Amino acid sequence: MENKNPVKIGIIGCGMISRAYTKNIPLFRQVELTACADLDPARARSLAEETGSRALSVKELLESEVEIVLNLTLPAVHDEVNRQIIEAGKHPYCEKPLGLDFEEARATCAIAEERGLLIGCAPDTVLGAGVSTARRVIDDGWIGQPTGGTAFMLGPGPERWHPNAGFYYLKGGGPLFDMGPYYLTSLIHLLGAVKAVSVRAIRSRDERLASSPELWGQRLPVETYTTYSGSLEFSSGAIVTIGFSFDVQRHGHSPIEIYGSEGSLKVPDPNGFGGPVEVYRPDANPDRAWEDPPMVHGYSENSRFLGVADMAAAIREGRAPRCSGQLALHVLEIMTACEASEREQRTIALSSTVERPAPMPSGLIVGQV
């Protein structure tokens, strides 16, 4: 059935990730992409041509009829571009992270709220079948009361394969700011808000030696920490051990595990939409095997844009978006507090909190939110 009142969408930032979004737009009838803009007009033209939308300047796009503007620019300007979007009276949906500075991003969220505008923010992988099913396992009591867990994103760093890896080692990069949003957002869906963080971090080397074909032999200066190790204390009382690193050649940890009074849960890679979810309960598993429950939610394929579609529905239905600015702001505070915890060598209590977003319903057909 044709949607007579789709939410019109514009994109600012027509680089690499923009295609991951536009590929899935046709799945969602809630929205219509009408315009693209980029500091580089050729990039805007090329995306507009591919998607049958118009290439505009940033100013023209902000003056156009769009209601949601996808901010797919780089992390260093996410907050500044979000402000421009809000000042133009549009709802921003931002790539992760929401910004680099917690207080600046908090002020931006306050301006949006005053103006009655929503903010949305990636990642939306947490709305996929994997994390949604893991959340259902917890919410339905399969593992009892969650008391703790682990979250590990450990790897050798992107300089072996990424054509432009330098920015990963500058301010706003590093394993925590780059990958943390996937893990931390998932943990909040699973366990709720974080109360305090206690973290140690190191910068293992001053330079990284690139071996990708594009940067082969170049030495990349390192400004960020490259290994973080510590713990998160949740308002529920649960404590989770975290590790984020670009200094690990190989490891044997699950991305996320949650331990409860009655069982344990392995959560799939939060940078993807699918499974498997694995559950262990001693009474059901006398042979101590992990079991894969069926996925009880849709969207197990790559469905990037799902969060935008949910925000479009939220605008029409007058409800909060699931991938909300408040959630992303809390994630940003956790990440900046991890850095402060190392700098100040102490536990940092957080000033923000957030409700767990409404879970995704099960039984949706593709395109529904």
Residues that bind ligand NAD (CB under 6 A): 12-17, 38-40, 43, 58, 72-75, 77, 81, 95
Residue 179 corresponds to which tokens in the numbers above? 């990958």
- Bridging pattern class, strands 31-37 and 54-55: parallel
Q: Cβ 141 to ligand NAD, closest distance in Å? A: 34
Comparison of 118 and 165: residue with beta carbon closer to ligand NAD: 165
User: How deeply is 311 buried, as exposed, middle or buried, from its count of CB atoms within 10 A (0-12, 13-18, 19+)?
Assistant: buried
- Token readout for 6 is 């789709």
Closest to ligand NAD by CB, 12 vs 332, is 12
By C-alpha distance, which of 130, 260, 223 is closest to 183?
130
- Of the two residues 74 and 202, which places its CB atom closer to ligand NAD in the complex? 74
Type of residue at 212: S
Strand-strand pairing, 264-267 and 239-245: unpaired
Give the residue with the Cβ less far from ligand NAD, 33 or 348. 33
> Nearest Cα to 191, choosing from 252, 256, 128?
256
Please state the closest distance from residue 73 (CB atom) to ligand NAD, in A: 4
> Within 13 Å, how many C-alpha atoms sit on residue 97's CB side?
29
The reply to whether omega before 123 is within 30° of 0 (cis) is yes
User: Cβ closer to ligand NAD: 61 or 354?
Assistant: 61
The minimum distance between CB 264 and ligand NAD, in angstroms, equals 29
What is the bridge-based pairing of β-strands 7-12 and 31-37?
Answer: parallel
Least separation, in Å, of the C-beta of 17 and ligand NAD?
Answer: 4
Nearer to ligand NAD, 102 or 259 (CB): 102
Distance of closest approach, residue 312 Cβ to ligand NAD, in angstroms: 20
Q: In the complex, what is the shortest distance from the CB of residue 70 to ligand NAD, in angstroms, rounded to a whole number?
A: 10
Listed in sequence order, the residues at least 6 apart from 206 whose beta carbon sits closer than 8 Å to its beta carbon are 221, 222
Q: How far is the CB of 251 from ligand NAD (least distance, A)?
A: 22
**Structure-derived torsion over alpha carbons of residues 213, 248, 126, 258, reported in degrees to the nearest 10:** 170
Q: How far apart are CA 275 and CA 360, in angstroms?
A: 16
Cα separation, 53 vs 114, in Å, equals 31
Q: Which residue is nearest to ligand NAD (CB)?
A: 15
Which residue's CB is nearer to ligand NAD, number 77 or number 315?
A: 77
